[in-house]
Amino acid sequence: MNKSPSVISLEIQIVILTILILVCSWKIVEVSKEIRILRETPPVAIIGDEISHGDTKNNTIILTFDGGSGADSAYKILKVLAQHKIKTTFFLTGKFMDTYPNLVRTMLKEGHEIFSHTYNHPYLTQVSDNEIRHELRVTDQTLMKIAGTSTKPYFRPPYGDRDERVIRIAREEGYQSVYWTIDALDWSVGETQESVKYRIISTLRPGNIYLIHLGDMISGDILEEVILDIQKRGFTISSLSQGL
């Protein structure tokens, strides 16, 4: 039995309406994700000449990796970076350097740069002026002993914990503070590979500095896919020094 034109028209309208509902639902999910990202990454209160992003005139983003104690993803990260011929930046604690001296030498040998993340990874706003100086000096001495190079001129305060006093003392010691634009939160309990990848890819902007960690498995497992996705979107990846 042939359907009447009115019935066919109604069916077409139903199909179109269904498609529109699905598209709107997808958009709502994407917007919800964006709102979540914005809530998790509030505007950074920059202190003085502190760095929180690179050059915004080019489609370049900066990947930085923090090494506090663990190196769960470090070897995998270095392997992926080497495969893609990418040179990037590591902020390492002195304890990390002392624990993994050969890894530190490999980072430098492969063309990456290493800067200070203090020695013991303390909350710098909670320690004395002399302790801040000690943290920076001992870390510099540690890298000099291991690899014959300095951690200057940049440092990243552990936990992002700093104030004007910390910034001033670090500057007196020859360091400029480097914050970040986006924390990938790969270290956070409850995060998954998908949520960390989305947090990076959905926030790509020229000059963004991304904070990623060496002490979890997520960062190493997703880096290959993240790099390919970043490049597919027309961005290049650089070290801190190259991207400023």
Q: Answer for the pair 79, 223: CB distance below 8 angstroms, yes or no.
A: no
Q: Which of 66, 140, 183, 186 is catalytic?
A: 66
User: In whole angstroms, how large is the CA radius of gyration of the chain?
Assistant: 23
Note if 84 is an active site residue: no
Q: Which of 53, 112, 117, 213 is catalytic?
A: 213
Note if 66 is an active site residue: yes
Beta strands in the chain (DSSP E): 60-67, 89-92, 113-116, 154-155, 176-177, 182-183, 209-213, 236-238
Tokens (6 digits) for 98: 């002392």
Distance spanning both ends of the chain, measured CA to CA: 71
d(CA 136, CA 124): 11
Q: Answer for the pair 205, 179: CB distance below 8 angstroms, yes or no.
A: no
Positions marked active-site? 66, 213
